[in-house]
C-alpha cells in the first residue's frame, strides 16, 4: 500500500444510485441530477487525467445495503487508477472483500462511528487502506446519510481515528455540499491540523479558487462532483490551477 496522495490531487466523484451516476444537493434523496453510466463516467475522468476515483454507493449509504455492487465491480475492472469506495460498508468483512476485489481504499463513515475498533481490525491486515469519512454539519459529525448528529467534534474525531490506524480522513462539509456556492476552509484546516495522515476535502467546490483554497488549508486532495459534471471547469483546468 503506497501512501495516499503524495501530491495534491483533484479526485472526481462517481456517486451511484440505482446503478446510475447522480449528484445530490446536501445529500438529500430526491434532489438528484442523473449523469448516466458509472463505467462511462469513470473512464471519462481517467481519460481526462484523474489519478484516483472516488466512488460512493448512495443506496448503501442510506440503507446499509450495497445495491450498486455490480456497478462498483464494473468500474474497478474498467479503470487502472486507484479507486476509493464508500457507502454501505458496515463490517470488516465487507471492507476486506472489497479490498481484495481491487478497491484501493475503503471509506467508513457510520460503521467507524458506531464501532471505532473496525478501523484497527481492517488496518491490521490491510495497513493504510481505511479512509474514515467525517461529515460535519454545524460543526458536528453526522452519520446515517447526514441525518443523525453524534456530538463529536470533527478534529477530535479525526485524531482518534488516526490513533486507531486510519490511513486518511475524508472530510465533508455538509453545510455547503452540492450547492455550488463555494467552500468554507476553517473546519477543514482544523481537521488537517489535528492529524498527520492525509485529509481529503469534499463539499461545495464550485470554482478553481475553491480548489486552491482547500489546498492552502492543507488538504491532501479534493473530491469534486457537481462542478465537474455541470462543466464549471474541466478536470485539466482544476489540476493546472493547483500545480506549483
pLDDT digits (tens, 9 = 90+) for 45-70: 999 999 999 999 988 777 777 778 89
For residue 1, the model assigns a pLDDT of: 45
Cα atoms in the 13 Å half-sphere on the side-chain side of 152: 24
Confidence band for 38, pLDDT divided at 50, 70 and 90: very high
Q: Please, what's the b/e burial string for 10-41 (b: 16 or more CB within 10 A of its CB; e: otherwise)?
A: bbbbbbbbeebbbbbeebeeeebeebebbbeb
Q: Which of 135, 153, 173, 210 is catalytic?
A: 135
Encode pLDDT of 175-189 as tens digits. Answer: 666 556 678 888 899
Q: Hey, which bits of 19-111 come out as E strands?
A: 20-25, 28-34, 53-57, 83-86, 105-108
Report the candidate in 66, 178, 54 with the shortest Cα–Cα distance to residue 111.
66
Nearest alpha-carbon partner for 28 in 138, 140, 179: 179
- 118 to each of 62, 89, 114, 144, 150, how far by Cα in Å? 20, 11, 9, 17, 18
| pLDDT greater at residue 184 or residue 1 | 184
Average pLDDT value over all residues in the chain: 90
Cβ atoms < 10 Å from Cβ of 125: 12
Give the pLDDT score at 204.
83
Which residue carries 455547503 as its cell?
176
**What nine digits make up the cell of 186?**
476553517
**With 70 as the cut, is the pLDDT of residue 29 above it?**
yes
Q: In Å, how far are 76, 125, 127, 187 from 100, measured between CA atoms?
A: 11, 11, 13, 34
What is the structure's pLDDT at 95? 96
Is 15 marked active-site? yes
Q: What is the pLDDT of residue 212?
A: 96
Q: What is the pLDDT of residues 79-134, one digit of tens each?
A: 999 999 999 898 999 999 999 999 999 999 888 988 999 999 999 999 999 999 99
Residue 227 has pLDDT above 60, yes or no: yes
Q: Is the pLDDT of residue 137 over 90?
A: no
pLDDT score, position 45: 98
How many Å apart are CA 179 and CA 174, to the nearest integer? 10
Residue linked to cell 471547469:
233
57 noted as active-site residue: no
pLDDT at 158: 97
Q: Is the pLDDT of residue 3 over 80?
A: no
pLDDT at 144: 66
pTM of the model: 0.92
Amino acid at each position: 500500500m503506497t501512501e495516499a496522495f503524495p501530491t495534491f490531487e483533484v479526485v472526481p466523484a462517481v456517486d451511484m444510485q440505482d446503478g446510475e451516476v447522480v449528484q445530490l444537493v446536501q445529500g438529500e434523496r430526491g434532489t438528484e441530477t442523473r449523469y448516466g453510466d458509472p463505467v462511462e463516467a469513470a473512464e471519462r475522468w481517467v481519460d481526462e487525467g484523474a489519478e484516483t476515483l472516488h466512488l460512493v454507493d448512495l443506496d448503501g449509504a442510506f440503507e446499509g445495503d450495497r445495491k450498486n455492487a455490480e456497478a462498483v465491480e464494473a468500474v474497478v475492472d474498467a479503470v487502472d487508477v486507484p479507486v476509493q469506495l464508500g457507502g454501505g460498508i458496515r463490517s470488516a468483512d465487507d471492507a476486506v472483500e472489497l479490498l481484495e476485489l481491487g478497491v484501493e481504499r475503503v471509506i467508513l463513515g457510520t460503521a467507524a462511528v458506531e464501532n471505532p475498533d473496525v478501523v484497527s481490525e481492517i488496518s491490521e491486515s490491510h495497513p493504510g487502506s481505511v479512509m474514515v469519512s467525517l461529515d460535519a454539519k454545524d460543526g458536528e459529525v453526522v452519520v446515517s446519510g447526514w441525518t443523525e448528529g453524534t456530538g463529536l467534534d470533527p478534529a477530535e474525531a479525526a485524531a482518534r481515528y488516526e490513533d486507531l490506524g486510519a490511513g486518511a480522513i475524508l472530510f465533508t462539509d455538509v453545510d455547503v455540499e452540492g450547492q455550488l456556492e463555494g467552500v468554507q476552509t476553517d473546519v477543514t484546516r482544523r481537521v488537517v491540523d489535528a492529524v498527520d495522515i492525509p485529509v481529503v476535502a469534499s463539499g461545495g467546490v464550485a470554482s478553481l479558487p475553491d480548489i486552491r483554497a482547500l489546498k492552502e488549508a492543507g488538504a491532501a486532495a479534493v473530491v469534486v462532483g457537481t462542478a465537474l459534471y455541470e462543466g464549471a471547469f474541466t478536470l485539466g483546468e482544476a489540476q493546472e490551477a493547483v500545480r506549483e
